[in-house]
Amino acid sequence: MSALTHCTDTPARRSSRFPWVDAALVCGATLLAAAVFVRFELMETIFDSTRAWEHLQVGELPATLLVLVAGLAWFSWRRYRETRRELIAREAAEARLASLLKDHRRLTQQYVDLQESERKALARELHDELGQYLNAIKTDAVAIQRRAARDAPAHRAASAIVAHCDHVQETVRALIGRLRPIGLDVLGLRAALEHYLALVRETTPQRTLSVRLEGELDDLDDAVSLTIYRLIQEGLTNVSRHAGARSVSVSVVRARERPSSDRVAISVVDDGRGADPTAKTLGLGVLGMRERVEALGGELEIRTAPGAGFSILASLPARPQQSSYRADEPQHELASTDHSLVNTL
């Protein structure tokens, strides 16, 4: 479909219709003027009153003016044609831009999907491969520990191996949690967020964290749930890294007044040192957030100023039409391991 055929009743099309009203006005004014001129014999009057200047050829003025009028009409016609051509070209450019924007959103969404399914596969590999081997090593070390005498070097070495295994298991578990939100597939967004936010509260007791989760959050589109989770994750990571804030509030509110306005509003607001909003130093985190949100047809706004905290405000349609999040493997596969990831590692 050509770009122009998108438009059903564009200004160019409207202006290409014959302007009947204007034409009728011109005809009416001409007839009226003709009637007045006939009534008062205008040309004769002018001719009589300009007879004294006949040596200046004033009598040729009407014909000259007629040529001027014809010239002006031609001039207007040419400008009209130019303007129309420009308008059509502009509309074509706008339609092309809109289509490129749509393609960009689709590609971003595909990229995000790919990234998420890669992360999911990595989390599974870490759990299934590394997790099993770590368990096996730990089991053997515990067996050695039991058999060796308490002060024997073998006992000490085995104890060290058990401690190392515990440490690696903890690290891998945290890594899996970052790769794939724990519980999101099985328990839904609300529980996954509550779990994550409880963890944040536990690890950063120096900062107060207030949370507001409102509305039905568990039947959201997969891509929307994941985007909300990632947005909050990145927002809170930034608070830890850059804000030096004393308090931060997170809110996820789904408002569904009408089916057509089924939206989720997300915000992460801190009272930290803020940043210069005009600085061109925004990294990949904020950029990634914006791309994810816009790919789903949402909007993201950053409000900040030096010393005035940092606010991330986003709004997403709960069920975007272009929702394309489809992990390459069935959801229940990781879902079934998600709990065990936490338990075994």
Ligand X SMILES: Nc1ncnc2c1ncn2[C@@H]1O[C@H](COP(=O)(O)OP(=O)(O)O)[C@@H](O)[C@H]1O
Residue 282 binds: one of Mg ion, ligand X, none (C-beta under 5 to 8 A by kind): ligand X
Provide the minimum distance between the beta carbon of 193 and ligand X in the complex, in angstroms, as a whole number: 18
- Is 238 among the residues that bind ligand X (CB under 6 A)? yes
CB atoms within 10 A of CB 94: 14
Among 57, 281, 321, 343, which residue interacts with ligand X (rule: CB under 6 A)?
Answer: 281
Stretch that binds ligand X, among 29-37, 122-130, 154-162, 235-243 (CB under 6 A): 235-243
d(CA 208, CA 260): 36
Q: Which residue is nearest to Mg ion (CB)?
A: 285
d(CA 207, CA 320): 35
d(CA 137, CA 144): 11
288 exposure class (CB count in 10 Å sphere: 0-12, 13-18, 19+) = middle
- Is 238 among the residues that bind Mg ion (CB under 5 A)? yes
Q: What mask, x for binding ligand X by CB under 6 A, covers residues 253 to 272?
A: -----------------x-x
Under a CB-based contact definition with an 8 Å cutoff, are residues 273 and 306 in contact?
yes
Provide the minimum distance between the beta carbon of 317 and ligand X in the complex, in angstroms, as a whole number: 24
Which residue, 17 or 241, is less far from Mg ion as judged by CB? 241
Stretch that binds Mg ion, among 157-165, 172-180, 231-239, 320-328 (CB under 5 A): 231-239
- Is 274 among the residues that bind ligand X (CB under 6 A)? yes
Provide the minimum distance between the beta carbon of 302 and ligand X in the complex, in angstroms, as a whole number: 8
Residues 82-121 that bind ligand X (CB under 6 A): none
Residues 293-332 that bind ligand X (CB under 6 A): 310
Q: Is 266 helix (H, G, I), strand (E, B) or coil?
A: strand
- Is 285 among the residues that bind Mg ion (CB under 5 A)? yes
Stretch that binds Mg ion, among 22-30, 171-179, 279-287, 334-342 (CB under 5 A): 279-287
Residue 303 dihedral angles phi and psi, to the nearest 5°: -120, 120
Residue 281 binds: one of Mg ion, ligand X, none (C-beta under 5 to 8 A by kind): ligand X
Q: Is 316 helix (H, G, I), strand (E, B) or coil?
A: strand
- Is 224 among the residues that bind ligand X (CB under 6 A)? no
Stretch that binds ligand X, among 80-88, 124-132, 280-288, 315-323 (CB under 6 A): 280-288
Which residue, 259 or 283, is less far from ligand X as judged by CB? 283
Distances (CA, A) of 42 to 27, 51, 60, 253, 326: 19, 14, 15, 78, 83
Contacts of 37 (CB under 8 A, 6+ apart): 43
Provide the minimum distance between the beta carbon of 282 and ligand X in the complex, in angstroms, as a whole number: 4
Among 243, 252, 295, 296, which residue interacts with ligand X (rule: CB under 6 A)?
Answer: 243
d(CA 326, CA 114): 9
Among 1, 5, 283, 343, which residue interacts with ligand X (rule: CB under 6 A)?
Answer: 283
Provide the minimum distance between the beta carbon of 174 and Mg ion in the complex, in angstroms, as a whole number: 18
- Is 242 among the residues that bind ligand X (CB under 6 A)? yes
d(CA 342, CA 71): 85
Under a CB-based contact definition with an 8 Å cutoff, are residues 119 and 180 in contact?
yes
Q: Starting at the earlier edge strand, list the strands of the sheet with 262-270.
A: 208-214, 247-256, 262-270, 310-317, 299-304
Which residue, 82 or 276, is less far from ligand X as judged by CB? 276
**In the chain, at which residue ranges do the beta strands (DSSP E only) sit?**
208-214, 247-256, 262-270, 299-304, 310-317
d(CA 209, CA 197): 8
- Is 188 among the residues that bind Mg ion (CB under 5 A)? no
Q: Which residues bind ligand X (CB under 6 A)?
A: 238-239, 241-243, 270, 272-275, 281-286, 310
Q: Which residues bind Mg ion (CB under 5 A)?
A: 238, 285
